[in-house]
């Protein structure tokens, strides 16, 4: 991390943040006991890294100058509340304490069927959002392990998918409810929002559309 090449080692779920112009990597996987996931979120329309010349200096761990840019992902256990299709375990991060870092996201494991969010849906955000659905079998990257229904737009247009997918919700676009229709194996969900904090305006009546 940084022009000094400060070295950090971790073995727990971790978030690394790299502000614009900040030198970072190489990344080195030192041990693997089972496959793991990695997600890079770049706050630009295209991924355009600038490769810097390698330095001969030995990386240092003495000063921990950049430790504030590395944070353990703290997962909340949500299995004891009434769930429906909501998360079983979820971690969240936001950039409200980092100047110019307009990003917040959740990362969660889901394993049950039913509607999400109660009757609060549909909803909108003041920022663009991407909803990511990914399976957990590294040998079957095209397998989600679940069937998801989502309603899109003011018309509540229905879409159903059973494969890894990304749902795009531009700022102000009405979306949801989300309904997990089937689950064969637990899957991963991440809500990636281009704002420093997660701000939602709920438009629901307390009832699901099919109950009204």
Q: What is the CATH number of the domain that holds 144?
A: 2.60.120.10
Angle in degrees, CA 134, 92, 62, rounded to 5 = 105
Interatomic CA distance for residues 196 and 55, integer angstroms = 34
Let me know whether 65 and 99 are in one domain.
no
Let me know whether 156 and 125 are in one domain.
yes
Let me know whether 62 and 84 are in one domain.
no
Tell me what pLDDT residue 7 has: 92
Structural domain boundaries enclosing 56: 1-73
The tens-digit pLDDT sequence of the chain (212 residues) is: 999 889 999 999 999 999 999 999 999 999 999 999 999 999 988 888 888 887 655 655 556 899 999 999 999 999 987 778 999 999 999 998 888 789 999 999 999 999 999 889 999 999 999 999 999 999 999 999 999 999 999 999 999 999 999 999 999 999 999 999 999 999 999 999 999 998 999 998 766 555 55
Tell me what pLDDT residue 59 has: 59
- Per the structure, the count of domains in the chain is 2
Let me know whether 152 and 54 are in one domain.
no
Let me know whether 61 and 99 are in one domain.
no
Let me know whether 93 and 159 are in one domain.
yes
Let me know whether 15 and 68 are in one domain.
yes
User: Which residues, other chains included, contact 13 with Cβ-Cβ below 8 Å and sequence gap of 6+?
Assistant: 72, 73, 75, 91
Let me know whether 66 and 86 are in one domain.
no
């Amino acid at each position: 991390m940084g022009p000094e090449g400060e070295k950090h080692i971790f073995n727990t779920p971790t978030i690394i943040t790299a502000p614009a112009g900040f030198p970072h990597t190489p990344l080195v996987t030192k041990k693997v006991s089972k496959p793991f996931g990695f997600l890079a979120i770049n706050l630009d329309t295209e991924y355009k890294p600038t490769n810097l010349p390698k330095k001969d200096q030995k990386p240092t761990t003495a000063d921990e100058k950049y430790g504030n840019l590395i944070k353990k992902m703290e997962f909340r256990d949500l299995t004891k509340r009434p769930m429906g299709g909501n998360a079983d375990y979820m971690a969240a991060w936001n950039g409200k304490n980092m100047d110019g870092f307009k990003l917040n996201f959740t990362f969660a494991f889901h394993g049950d069927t039913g509607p999400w969010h109660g009757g609060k849906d549909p909803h909108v955000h003041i920022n663009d959002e991407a909803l990511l659905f990914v399976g957990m079998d590294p040998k079957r990257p095209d397998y989600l392990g679940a069937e998801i229904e989502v309603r899109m737009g003011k018309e509540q247009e229905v879409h159903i998918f059973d494969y890894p997918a990304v749902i795009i919700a531009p700022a102000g676009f009405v979306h949801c409810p989300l309904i997990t229709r089937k689950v064969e194996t637990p899957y991963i969900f991440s809500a990636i929002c281009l704002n420093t904090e997660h701000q939602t305006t709920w438009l629901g009546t307390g009832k699901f559309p099919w109950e009204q």
